[in-house]
Amino acid sequence: QVQLQESGPGLVKPSETLSLTCSVSGASISSYYWSWIRQPPGKGLEWIGYIYYSGSTNYNPSLKSRVTISLDMSKIQFSLKLSSVTAEDTAVYYCLRGGSWFDSWGQGTLVTVSS
């Protein structure tokens, strides 16, 4: 059974870059899409973007200028970078398997943007 685990700083200063990594176990990275989604406290889900195992990516148009998702197949993990963060980026960030629907989720990690 595939398991995903997010890791990274829980506190990021405004204007800096949020960086998270998702470690995948129990499954190969090949032949799947891998995604990031976030959920601001008390609010709904927002799609950030996905990466295919081939390396092709697709990002939420509203975040596209600030987002990079990358894949490290040797480490069996994928990463999220979100630049120039503001308080609006405070959310629980989830990594997931899938591109159109998501069958495996990480537990989520709260990232707070604050000075």
Partner 1 sequence: QSALTQPRSVSGSPGQSVTISCTGTSSDVGDYYYVSWYQQHPGKAPKLMIYDVSKRPSGVPDRFSGSNSGNTASLTISGLQAEDEADYFCSSYAGTYTFDVVFGGGTKLTVL
Q: Is 67 in the site for partner 1 (CB under 8 A)?
A: no
Q: Is 105 in the site for partner 1 (CB under 8 A)?
A: yes
Q: What is the DSSP string of 69-115?
A: EEEETTTTEEEEEE-S--GGG-EEEEEEE-SSS-SEE---EEEEE--
11-12/3-7 β-pairing: unpaired
Minimum separation from the CB atom of position 17 to partner 1 (A): 23
Q: Select the residue interacting with partner 1 from 32, 89, 94, 113 (CB under 8 A).
A: 94
Contacts of 65 (CB under 8 A, 6+ apart): none
Binding span for partner 1 by CB under 8 A among 21-29, 43-51, 68-76, 77-85: 43-51
At residue 66's C-alpha, the angle toward residues 76 and 95, to 5°, is: 35
Minimum separation from the CB atom of position 98 to partner 1 (A): 8
* Binding footprint of partner 1, residue count (CB under 8 A): 19
- Contacting positions for partner 1 (CB under 8 A): 35, 44-47, 50, 58, 60-61, 94, 99-103, 105-108
